[in-house]
A and B are shown apart, each in its own frame.
Chain A
Amino acid sequence: MSNKCIDSGNNAAAHAARLAGVEVVAAYPITPQTPLTEKLSEWVASGEMDAEYVAVESEHSALGVCIGAASAGVRAFTATSANGLLYMSEQLHWAAGARLPLVMCVVNRGVGAPWSVWNDHQDAMSQRDTGWIQLFVKDHQEIVDVTIKAFRLAEAVHIPVMVNYDGYYLSHTYMPFELPDAEAVRAFLPPYVYKHALDPQRPENLNSVTLPDARRDAGGVLRGGYMDIRHNLQQEMHQALAVWEEIDADYRQRFGRGGAPVLEAYRLEDAEFVVVAMGTLANQFRDVVDRLRQEDGIRVGVLAVQVYRPFPARQLAEALQAARGVMVFEKGLSYGHQGALFADVKSALYPWPARPVLRNFIVGIGGREIPTNELCRNLKQACGQDELPPEVADTPNWIGLQL
């Protein structure tokens, strides 16, 4: 049996969840995520997938069901987009605070109002401080590989993981990809074990009220207060980067490919200028960069940020040390400030000796077309002008506005 298929990105994600041995799926429809969970419901109904499928009445409940299932000791999964993700916000914080190893696919879409079903990254950006690990993938193969790997990461570090992929660009397009062998995935991803699973034989009170200061438990052991618990999450979030690298290496060894290491460099070796981007935009920039190199002789490369939270600040700064200019192109904003990724890149570079020229470009908001020609033109222009007054250089440039 061949494991090669040509299918949609949503179906690629569904395959990954099935291969990962997900046992409870809860979901609520929202475009462009819907076909993913419809596919899972179809497999559960036909018996091709041995899991409980719970069609809930809201996203808040979808994550609630996953939170309950994971706490009780089974592997759980859900998916959403845009306003669905925002509606989950309280639950996102809860899942991370409770240290539940959940995995969720977020099919990125612009956030209402006004309504838009098209792609940008504002949904994920607005939830970046919920304590979830956030991964961004670039194609269907990465959706499969990264989703499977995400379960191992989540379960290794006890932090929930969001696998982000671009609505329509990936969710609804068909591409060839390869599915790993089910047996091999089982060997890579051992059965779910949750140390604190709810069990009447071993009663524990999970997520109870805490105090600011540490207190002793019944056995006299000092247990951290709220702040200490938060500190642990932050520390272990940072450690997750190294764990992800190990998982990536293991996956590569077993399956011959990885998909979304922390950062992915394209033509960076001799690059004078570097584009930083996430998701399919980073793929599009490979063409842009090839063209600028060929037609204009500009030495430019692409650095795709694939692990966005925890933010790989050191790796990123190291990768950018030789660059004269760094151009961050992105599809989300921290309103009243600048591009969210741009602000992160800038702060990552600050402690390092090299201070490349930085520029921020906002593109593709709410699905606005991103013509490759426009990207070429803007990037070429940016590479030519390194002496801009700081306040101008710091202001995001919107590409493709129709005002």
Chain B
Amino acid sequence: MSDTPKTTVLSLTEEEFVHPGNRACSGCSMGLLYRIGAKALGRDCIFVVPPSCMTVMQGLYPVSASQFPIFNCTFASTAAVATGVRAAMKRLGRTTQVVAWAGDGGTSDIGIQALSGALERGEDIIYICYDNEAYMNTGVQRSGTTPCSSLTTTTPFTGKAQAAKDVPAIVAAHNPTFVATCSASYPLDFHDKLLRAKQMRGLKYFHIQTPCPPGWGCEERLTIKIGRMAVESGLFVLYEIENGVKRLSEPSARLLKKGRRPVRDYLKLQVRFRHMSDEQIAALQAQVDARWDDYREAFADD
């Protein structure tokens, strides 16, 4: 809640759970997110990870890039394996956090069945979907959360024709304990939401936008900036849903009063959107404007 003190770069724990050096691309925002998120999670947790950039980032057998026990599972079974680990912790009388950490493909496509099952059962796990908006590990193919018009290797030339699945909304429809959207460009927002989620029982779902230089066609040095622009343009909205009540998180709530950046600024920094016509950009801007008109009504009191 807003009354809990916010973590700042100064108050963030200096303890590291991720070894220096890993196999992420330079400029990968997911790697940064993982490092900061780990600080919130603390040492007493077990990770369950399906095939994804995260698998590779951790390093190749027999070395590991982090100081957590990590179980690498099959692509479709993240939430089920986490369920099993959770059941074991219960049997062993341990309160260890079970954290599923999966990509958007592993969450929105192949893994959605297991996730839906775990949501319905109310498993006591933290499920983190980092959304780099395509299958990056296999070379930038479209996923269920790839945005409309985005170029990928399986949506070449004109980009993806369909809109992205709204996974947090799908998750929210299961009525879990907690749903939060985050951005790798606001890692402390993620950190503090994790701290709160740790105190809750039931399934806590995080959906995090993680800009990806090779997949998005952007400069490595710009990933944090691009993630910020996604939020500042109102395209990617940070919010949380607790007990069914949705609240905009600070970086997005701020936009209710302050103006938003044009989405064009965000799009133009990325090769994957470079082919978009002025009409397409205008249509996207209109969609975002309409969404924010709704938000202004819905969150008038915030």
Contact = CB atoms under 8 A, between A and B. Distances in A.
A76 B81 CA distance: 12
Nearest to B116: A57
Nearest to A225: B61
Given A52-B87, A73-B92, A200-B43, A68 B70 contact: no
B12 interface: no
Given A61-B77, A68-B82, A91-B77, 7 more contacts: A24-B84, A51-B91, A71-B81, A71-B84, A205-B69, A209-B72, A216-B62
A72 interface: yes
A208 B47 CA distance: 12
A54 B55 contact: no
Contact of A64 (B63, B68, B83, B91): B83
Interface residues of A, number: 48
Interface in A194-216: 198-200, 202-211, 215-216
Interface residues of B, number: 46
Chain A interface secondary structure, helix, strand, loop or mixed? mixed
B30 to A, nearest CB: 16
Contacts of B82: 68
A72 B59 contact: no
Contact of A204 (B43, B69, B90, B91): B69
Contacts of A208: 55, 58-61, 64, 70, 72
A203 B45 CA distance: 10
Contacts of A223: 61-62
Contact of B69 (A63, A202, A215): A202
B18 to A, nearest CB: 12
Contact of A72 (B45, B76, B89): B89
Contacts, number: 173
B284 interface: no
A74 interface: yes
Contact of A198 (B46, B66, B83, B113): B46
Contacts of B74: 60, 64, 90-91, 94
B80 A65 contact: yes
Q: Which of B56, B63, B83, B114 has the most CB of A within 10 A?
A: B83
B117 interface: yes
A211 B77 contact: no
7 closest Cβ pairs, A-B complex: A68-B84, A64-B80, A57-B117, A72-B88, A64-B77, A61-B80, A68-B81
